[in-house]
Structures are given as C-alpha cells and as structure tokens.
Amino acid sequence: MSLRLLILVLPLVSLILSACEEKVSDYKSTVYVFGTLVEFIIRDADPALAEKTVTKIDQDFQRMHKDWHAWKPGGELQALNVALSEGRVFEVSDFTLPLIRDAIRYEQLSNGLFNPAIGKVIDAWGFHADEMPTGRLPDFDEIKALAAKQPSMSDLNFAGHLVSSPNKAVSLDFGGFAKGVALDHAVKVLKDAGITNAIVNAGGDLNTLGSHGDRPWRVAIKHPVKWGVIAGLDLGDDENLYTSGNYQRFREHEGVRYAHIIDPRTGMPVDHIVSASVIHENGGLADAAATALTVAGPEGWYEVAKSFGVDLVLLVDAEGTIHMTPKMAKRVSFPDDKKPTIVVSDPL
C-alpha cells in the first residue's frame, strides 16, 4: 500500500468509528489484506484470547487473499482462470467451490448486472493492478468485442469439483463480494472463540457481532463525492453494512473518469455517479448487492433490491438525492446542517 493511500485510509477508518466511544476494555487490532486495512474492535473479551483469534483470522484472510486473487499468480483462482482461458478442466478445492456457487447465485439475482465472470474486461481496463492505471485508454472496440462474448457464471460446467467453460472469455473476478465473504468468516471465527461483541471494519464495509456495551454499534456511511459522512445509523447484532461506489476507484483520462465498476452489458465503466449501501445479515450478499445496485443506478436499483430481497438500502445519486427503502429511512440520521433531498420507495 502506498503511503498516500495509508494516510487517506487511516483517518477514514477512525472517522467511520468516531461515534464509538472508546472504552479501556476494547481490544483493537488492524490487519492489512485485500488492499485495505481491516480494523477489529473486540469488547468484553480476554485480550490474549482476542489477539489469538485475530491472528487466526488474519491467517485465513491471507489464504483467501492468495487463493481468491483474480490475477496474481500463485493462487487457486488465477490458476483456474488460466485453465478456463485455455479451455482446460480444473479441479477446484472445497475452499473455493462455495464462492463460485455464491457467484452464480448473485449473477442470477442481479439479472446479470453483477457478473463475476467479466475478469477479462476488468483486466482490459487496467484494473488488475495494485496501483490505478494511467496513460492510454484501452481500445473501446476491443472492450466491446470482449463484452459481446457474454462471459457468464452460467457458462461454467461442473462435474463434482471439476470445472470447465466452453466460453474461453470467462475469467473469474470476485472483487465485488469476496470481502463480504471474508468478514462473514471473521465473525464466525470470533463467535466460535466465545467472543460476543465485536466490529470488523474494512474501510467502511463492516460486519458486527453483538453490541457496543449497552447500545448498538454506531456507524457511518461515507459521502460519495465529498470527504466525510452522509448518514449515521445503528447496527444490531449480526447486521453488516456494505457500500459500493463508482467514485471509489477509477482511472482518469482527459478529464473523464472511468470507474472500476463495469456494466457487463457493454463492458464500459458505470458512468452515473452513485453510491449504494446495503445492510444484511449475510455480508457476502450485501457486498454483491451493493455492487449490483451501483451498476443498476438510480433508475434500476429498485428491481435489483427486489430480486436480492434486500430491504435496507440507501442510494446516493449525482445530485446528492438519497433514495431509500422505508426500513432504511427509519434507521438513518443525517448531520443537522446537511439535510439532503430524500426519496423513499419500497421495492419489496
């Protein structure tokens, strides 16, 4: 991670949790994985147990990072991607198979807007790199030709753990929901260790367990355009908050921004400004849904939310208007000086 990014991320993490009063009994630890800092706050636990448990989770995270990495050699997903692009059959491990099954389901639920099989398109845009790409843009005709091959999770054939694809354009990229799966796993390990109150925060995407003492965990949703927060809310036990936005990572060329979130129908970056937040007990699903809602945008979010069955959704559009489900509207509060325009509608 570059120093600049570190300097940006550190205050952000503390800002997100700024509402959480510090107690001496809080155990805090930060690990670096998936290109971001993951902060653990664990309450009411023996510090030695908390430390041991975070160390175990960090080891699991590092394995996920290696084996679920879309393009770095040495891991399982990258090896699978090479096999698929060469038309070969690949034997997938028990560790990765459930993730592939989830990816198939999320693509179906999103009606193809969330498509973890478009790794080649994401790569063609230069986003398979640790740093943001600069310089010449890719050839748009080549991008469109790649998208026209319609890579899809539904191309995959299974014989037990053996996976193949007749469509060589399929390349798996789980960047849109792997963090959610990882944080779900982290909370499971904390629970198994007997820990009852914790929050695991990966740069604003977070899972909770229990409460913050005698009140719920209080968190904030980042403003999509400006520095700071747009709304605050309390999260109950096992509620997880995921936010996706096409402003988060992008490349810039001649004043135009090209976002890291791609519309699979065209292969082009999502160009409406939008930030989508979802609360759900399944962090992987919330993460996938937030990315799908970002692709759908202010016009199409309704259908996607309905299909995913998510009833706690908040979307911010380019004008700063907030679109919310009724349940979310009851939960959020806004800074007094910044009352936004709000549209509430119920997709369910």
Residues that bind ligand AMP (CB under 6 A): 114-116, 122, 127, 173, 175-176, 244, 260-262, 264, 287, 291, 294-295
Selected from 53, 115, 207, 244, the binder of Mg ion by CB under 5 A is 244
Q: Which does 260 bind (CB under 5 to 8 A by kind): Mg ion, ligand AMP, none?
A: ligand AMP
Other residues' Cβ atoms within 10 Å of the Cβ of residue 54: 26
> Going by DSSP bridges, is the β-strand pair 322-324/342-344 parallel, antiparallel, or unpaired?
parallel
What phi-psi label fits residue 148: left (phi over 0), alpha (psi between -120 and 50 degrees) or beta? Answer: alpha
Question: Could you tell me where the DSSP H helices lie in the chain?
Answer: 3-16, 47-67, 76-85, 97-109, 119-124, 140-148, 178-192, 283-308, 326-331
Task: Let me know: does 270 contact 263? Beta carbons within 8 Å.
Answer: yes
Nearest-approach distance from CB 153 to ligand AMP, in angstroms: 10
Does position 107 interact with Mg ion (CB under 5 A)? The reply is no
User: What separation in angstroms does the CA of 106 have from each of 179, 255, 273, 297?
Assistant: 15, 34, 23, 17
Q: Which does 171 bind (CB under 5 to 8 A by kind): ligand AMP, Mg ion, none?
A: none
Distance CA 51, CA 72 (A): 29
Distance CA 18, CA 44 (A): 19
Output 267 or 284, the one with its CB closest to Mg ion. Answer: 284
Tell me which stretch binds Mg ion (CB under 5 A): 131-139, 150-158, 270-278, 289-297. Answer: 289-297
Nearest-approach distance from CB 342 to ligand AMP, in angstroms: 23
Q: Which does 295 bind (CB under 5 to 8 A by kind): Mg ion, ligand AMP, none?
A: ligand AMP
Q: Using CB under 5 A, which residues numbered 111 to 130 contact Mg ion? A: none
Output 208 or 294, the one with its CB closest to Mg ion. Answer: 294
Distance CA 87, CA 82 (A): 9
Nearest-approach distance from CB 156 to Mg ion, in angstroms: 21
Q: Tell me the three state secondary structure of residue 156.
A: coil
Nearest-approach distance from CB 202 to ligand AMP, in angstroms: 10
Nearest-approach distance from CB 166 to ligand AMP, in angstroms: 21
Site string for Mg ion, 76-105 (x = CB under 5 A): ------------------------------
Q: Using CB under 5 A, which residues numbered 157 to 186 contact Mg ion? A: 176
Nearest-approach distance from CB 27 to ligand AMP, in angstroms: 28
Fill in the DSSP letter of residue 341: -
Q: Which does 151 bind (CB under 5 to 8 A by kind): Mg ion, ligand AMP, none?
A: none
Nearest-approach distance from CB 32 to ligand AMP, in angstroms: 17
Output 193 or 262, the one with its CB closest to ligand AMP. Answer: 262
Task: Count how many residues are written for the chain.
Answer: 348
Of 102, 92, 38, the closest CA to residue 287 belongs to 102
Q: What are phi and psi of 177, to 5 degrees?
A: -150, -5
Q: In DSSP terms, which residues pair with 99 in a beta bridge? A: none
Q: Which does 173 bind (CB under 5 to 8 A by kind): Mg ion, ligand AMP, none?
A: ligand AMP
Query: Helices (H) and strands (E) in the chain — how many of each?
Result: 9, 18
Output 39 or 287, the one with its CB closest to ligand AMP. Answer: 287
Binding site for Mg ion (CB under 5 A): 176, 244, 287, 290-291
